[in-house]
Amino acid sequence: MAKISGTSTSEYARLGDLLSETLDSGKDVGASVSVTVEGETVVDIWGGWADEAQTTPWGRDTITNVWSTTKTMTFLSTLVLAERGLLDYHEKVSTYWPEFAQNGKADIEVRHLMGHTSGVSAWEQPVAVEDIYDWEKSTAMLAAQAPWWTPGEGSGYHALNQGHLLGEVIRRVDGRMLGQFFAEEIAGPLDADFHIGLDPSEFDRVSNVIPPPALAIDMATMDPDSVLIKTFTGPAPDATESWTPEWRQATIGAANGHGNARSVARIQAIVANGGTVDGVELLSPDTIKMIFEEQANGVDQVLGLPVRFGMGYALHSIAVPYLPEGNYAYWGGWGGSSIIVDIDRKITFAYVMNRMDEGLLGDTRGIDLATEVFKH
């Protein structure tokens, strides 16, 4: 069996076996798993390889691009500002970012950006991946365009631009870019190894993601004016884009966070543990309750799947039948990474890997691990 490094309590020992099995089968190449209970880490394991050629072991401090799991860090950043009374989810975006009122967006509220209901689920064409590296240009583009559906009427997953939308609100409120705010107010105090915008000094620790099989979607046969097509082509980076210095160093709060399961679970344990971890207090229970204000519940017009969105995070619904009833907040990243927060039992679970599967939001590897965690 594949060697698994790290530590785990006896209650969660089966997780090491499951990770070893996926490494042996080739479903995983390199991966990490972490669980916290009441803010304390009870599982911190990893194994496999940091590269597809299997020449460099996945180590304790290996990090990788986690795609949309990054969004949960952006959500947490907005929660910290809400906790401090500086950001109101029910206030109009234009109150903080006046230029956003253009083209029929004057009444869009911050909660619409959080819950994927703003109608602005991507950039309008023409747009290239290089444009989203330019913060001023890319946020001005979003401010100028019109919504693609009536804001507040159902969700359309904000796949790549949600971090720019919320990040610009954060910048207007606080003065700092999202990556700097997150580093100084959240990751730094928690001593958590997660980055939105990676310094080149950290590049040698990065495990490049291994691109997934092509999606079984023939976009050429679909309506080019559909929200789905406009979202997934506005723009459409290949997974290998994440290997570039430009991607790594940019501020893409929806998709370019770099970390491992340990750092993801530790940071999100703030939400699970009532707002405090190891004496670092960032949120009150009342602010955490805001997460569970339902924003949309139905088939998402971008994902094509039933999703129940709260304030940023997805909430427990038929979309996650492997979780027992309870107050869960979760999300995942393209290819498989995932984070699940159990508010009732104060548990966080995180899975981060380099071999991407074809699923947009998780796959059986993470589901099998999560099922084991939450059966207890």
Residue 166 and residue 54 in one domain: no
Residue 78 and residue 161 in one domain: yes
Question: What is residue 365's predicted lDDT score, i.e. its pLDDT?
Answer: 96
> CB neighbours of 197 closer than 8 A, spacing ≥ 6?
177, 179, 180, 248, 249, 250, 251, 256
Question: What is residue 213's predicted lDDT score, i.e. its pLDDT?
Answer: 87
Residue 149 and residue 294 in one domain: yes
Mean pLDDT score, 200-222: 87
Which of the residue ranges 7-16, 20-29, 171-180, 318-327 would you say has the lowest mean pLDDT? 318-327
Mean pLDDT score, 221-235: 93
Residue 204 and residue 75 in one domain: yes
Question: What is residue 214's predicted lDDT score, i.e. its pLDDT?
Answer: 80
Residue 52 and residue 102 in one domain: no
User: 216 pLDDT exceeds 70?
Assistant: no
Residue 55 and residue 78 in one domain: no
The CATH number of the domain holding residue 152 is 3.40.710.10
Mean pLDDT score, 231-256: 97
> CB neighbours of 195 closer than 8 A, spacing ≥ 6?
63, 179, 183, 187, 202, 257, 258, 259
Residue 163 and residue 226 in one domain: yes
Categorize the per-residue pLDDT at 359 as very low, low, confident or very high, splitting at 50, 70 and 90: confident
Residue 56 and residue 67 in one domain: no
Give the 3-state secondary structure of 138-168: HHHHHHHCCCCCCCCCCCCCCCCCHHHHHHH
Torsion angle defined by CA atoms of residues 255, 239, 145 and 120, in that order, rounded to the nearest 10 degrees = -50
Among 72, 114, 74, 121, residue whose Cα is nearest residue 90: 114
Residue 14 and residue 156 in one domain: no
Query: pTM for the whole thing?
Result: 0.98
Is position 213 within any domain? yes
Domain count, the chain: 2
Is position 19 within any domain? yes
Is position 164 within any domain? yes
Is position 324 within any domain? no
Mean pLDDT of all residues in the chain? 96
30 phi/psi in degrees, rounded to 5: -145, 140
Residue 162 and residue 176 in one domain: yes
